[in-house]
Structures are given as C-alpha cells and as structure tokens.
Structure 1
C-alpha cells in the first residue's frame, strides 16, 4: 500500500505506506538521484490504477485532515552545478 493524500486546500500532502512500499519508494528515489547525477535530469511517474498506473493505491486511508487522493505524482531530479563566488 502506498497512498498519497492531500488536505482540502492542497497545502499538505500525506503519505501512507507499508514498510515494503516505503523501501520501494526509497529505491525509486535513489534511482532518480543516480540518473540525475549521470545525465543532469531524471523523473518518474507514480499513478493509481484509475490513472493507468499501479504504483499508488486509490484508497483514502483517512487522516482527519486528508480529503482527496493524489492520483499522479511526478518526481524530478536535477543535477545543479554550484559555482563558488
């Protein structure tokens, strides 16, 4: 289970996940970071079945503040070169 939820005003995002899915998400973030270091940019899409994916579940777990499911998450990685001044 990996569910993304937002509050009514979309000011907060809540992640609910099983330990297995948290480890899976960490591995996806590591893969995006590695690709961004290699090529400068990387991204990945996580979606519910309603949006054609299988990475996210579409069940509202129900924090008191949660109001809606997020069906599509795009995670971007960017290699930003810093210059000393």
Structure 2
C-alpha cells in the first residue's frame, strides 16, 4: 500500500504506506539520488491503477473521505542538481 491523499486546499498531503509501499517509494527516491549524484536530472512517476499504474493504491481514511480529501493518482518525483534547481528558480538563492 502506498496511498497519497491531499486536502481540498492542497495545503496538506497525507501519505499512507505499508512496508512494501515504503520500499517502493524508497527505491524511486534512491534511483533519483543516484542519478543526481552523477550530475543527471531525472524524474520518476508513480501512478494509481485508475491512471494505468500499480505503484499507488487508492485508499484513504474515513475522516479524510468525509472532509473532502482527494486521492492522488500521479506522483511525479524530480531529482535536481544544484545548478538545475537554481536555473529553474527552485533553490533558496535563486533570483
């Protein structure tokens, strides 16, 4: 299980995971980290079954459902080098 739920406002995101879900997320992040260490900027995609994938599950707590939270169906992870982060205005010292 790897389920991501966002509040209606988008201000808060909840991640629910079991061991397999944590391992899948860790693997995706580790792969990005290795690429960034080589100076490469890459991205990774995790999708729910509804969106053609199998990495994200579609589940949320009852209180999340009743408060209008929304299921996240696509998680896109980016790995940025410092140069690319700066170039795209993502680093703290960006203009």
Same fold (TM over 0.5): yes
Residues 41, 62 of structure 1: alpha-carbon distance in 2 compared, 3 angstrom cutoff: farther
> TM-score normalized by structure 2?
0.75
Matches within 5 A, 1:2-17: 2-17=2-17
Alignment size in residue pairs: 82
Structure 1 unpaired stretches of 5+: none
* RMSD of aligned residue pairs (Cα, Å): 1.9
Shift of 1:36: 2.0
> TM-score normalized by structure 1?
0.83
**Are 2:76 and 1:74 aligned?**
yes
CA contact (8 A) 1:33 1:42 kept: no
Secondary structure class of the residue paired with 1:33: helix
Is the helix fraction higher in 1 or 2?
A: 2
Alignment-derived partner of residue 28 in structure 2: 28
What's the CA shift string for 1:12-66, capped at 9, x where partnerless? 1100000221122112101111012224201100010111111001122345466
The list of structure 1 runs, each at least 4 consecutive aligned residues, that deviate by more than 4 angstroms after superposition, is: 63-66
Tell me which moved more, 60-69 or 17-26. 60-69
Structure 2 unpaired stretches of 5+: 87-95
